Amino acid sequence: MECGLLNRITRFVMVMGFSLILVYSVLPKITHSVGFLNNPSQFITEKGINPSNYYCTDVEKVMESEFYLRTVLKDE
């Protein structure tokens, strides 16, 4: 079966659209409606923790993130 360029672009746009809807609409609703998922989410938001800092491979950024996390948890 031969796929034309238009079909490939259409599929790509549909998959990307579905992915965006899932990530930005469905998953946050699930997170807020399920208790054991909502509690850590609220804690992270209240403390101002940026979870994306912990996935960085830059050593300096990881050290800054670890220091910040320790100070936030110490203040609690």
Alpha-carbon distance of 73 to 50, in angstroms, equals 14
Nearest one of 41, 16, 11 to 27, comparing CA atoms: 41
pLDDT tens column, 29-61: 998 888 888 888 888 888 887 777 666 566 677
76 has pLDDT over 70: no
25 is written with which tokens? 């609409």
Stated pTM of the model: 0.50
Nearest one of 36, 37, 42 to 26, comparing CA atoms: 37
Domain boundaries along the sequence of the chain? 1-33
Alpha-carbon distance of 56 to 70, in angstroms, equals 17
